[in-house]
Structure 1
Amino acid sequence: MPYDPQKAAQTVAFFAMQEGGSINVLKVVKLVYLADRESVRTRGHPIQDEARVSMPHGPVNSVTLNYLNGAYRDDGGWSEYLRDRANNDVGVVQKDLTTDHLSSLSEGDLEMLESTWDQFGHFDRFDLADWTHNHIAEWQDPNGSSTPIPLDRIMTAVGLENPIERAKELESVNRAANVFARL
């Protein structure tokens, strides 16, 4: 599937809802990455279809971070769920938002998000960044820049067999989905 800004916004909104309606950007990008990683481990594929990179504060989903930073004019549905970033926080548009409103996320996606929140939601942003430095094998210090984290490296780190073949197969499925999505 191509990158889905609305699905990514709903993912961020889920975590913001858990945090009381607003969440720190550094914390949420770590949670989004960790949820994708858990999804790869348990289901063989990430929640979000996007590039991931190692950055100085740990691994992040690159396109989602760019959306959080306001890099796109056409937000693809992002603003239906999230307010613009302010003071390093992002918040939900509707205070009464519930998981029933997050229709782009499957039950499996929501399970991954809930599991991630249960495990990491109590961390503050800096403790979470430190945790990713010490426990995420695929993260490599980019020395002030950013470096790609290929999906097969995540698959290897979480213990999946045949990660290169699995990543190529998933990429092939995603390419086909992109073609059909454009039709």
Structure 2
Amino acid sequence: MKLLYISDRYALNEYAQPLTFDRYVSMNHGPVLSTTYDLMNGCAIPELQEQWDNCFEQRQNHSIKLRENCDLTTTDMIIQTVDIVWREYSHMSPWSLVEYTHANFEEWTDPKGSSQPIQMHNLLQQLGYDSGEAESIAEGIRSEHPQFNVLNLARLQRTVHEPVLELSPADNRETLRKKILDFANSN
């Protein structure tokens, strides 16, 4: 997960365009690609989860593996970015990457046990773009690639305007996952 975030960050710095077009959040162990995190944990909205499950095997430890029958389109930019990030950071343990992102990525803030959005324009400013450039690039990304923004906005609107999902502290992980998926499917 950290290498994916670092790859997106690198692509933004070099090309003013991310690889994933995902939303970024600060979590306890560093910055995360929000929807990708949900997909890796098997708890994304069903349509996206099905596409993910068709291309990737279940996560084992801190790694995912592409299924042999999955045909993903790549570009030179993606290949170069991933190669550079892999050469630079793959030797680091997961916990070393956590420490590194906490110390070096100023867009990350301690969410104190929760998660906090990392705004695209703030990340771009941390990479050295001035405020106007950062806002212009962020707006261009939002308007050209709204897929995650629309899904998240729709979820937020349903949460604000419709019944709330009721969870119990006694719910185990599988029960929580089922309740969340059932709630998402019913709304």
TM-score by length of 1: 0.71
- Quote the Cα distance in structure 1 between the aligned partners of 2:73 and 2:115: 29
Correspondent of 1:49 among 5, 18, 21: 21
SS in 2 for 1:54: strand
Contact 2:21/2:141, CA 8 A, preserved across alignment: no
CA apart distance, 1:172: 2.1
- Residue identity matched to 1:85: R
Q: Which residue of 2 aligns with 1:31?
A: 3
Structure of higher RCO (CA pairs closer than 8 Å, 6+ residues apart): 1
Q: How does 1:68-147 map to 2 (within 5 A)?
A: 68-72=40-44, 73-74=46-47, 75-87=49-61, 89-94=63-68, 103-147=72-116
- Quote the Cα distance in structure 2 between the aligned partners of 1:122 and 1:172: 36
SS in 2 for 1:53: strand
- Quote the Cα distance in structure 1 between the aligned partners of 2:101 and 2:61: 23
Unaligned runs of 5+ in 2: 151-187
Change (3 A) 1:40 1:125: same
SS in 2 for 1:142: coil
Contact 1:70/1:85, CA 8 A, preserved across alignment: no
Give aligned-pair identity as a percent.
27
Change (3 A) 1:82 1:159: same
Change (3 A) 1:102 1:33: farther
> How many positions carry a matched residue from both structures?
145
RMSD: 2.3
Q: How does 1:136-175 map to 2 (within 5 A)?
A: 136-161=105-130, 162-175=133-146
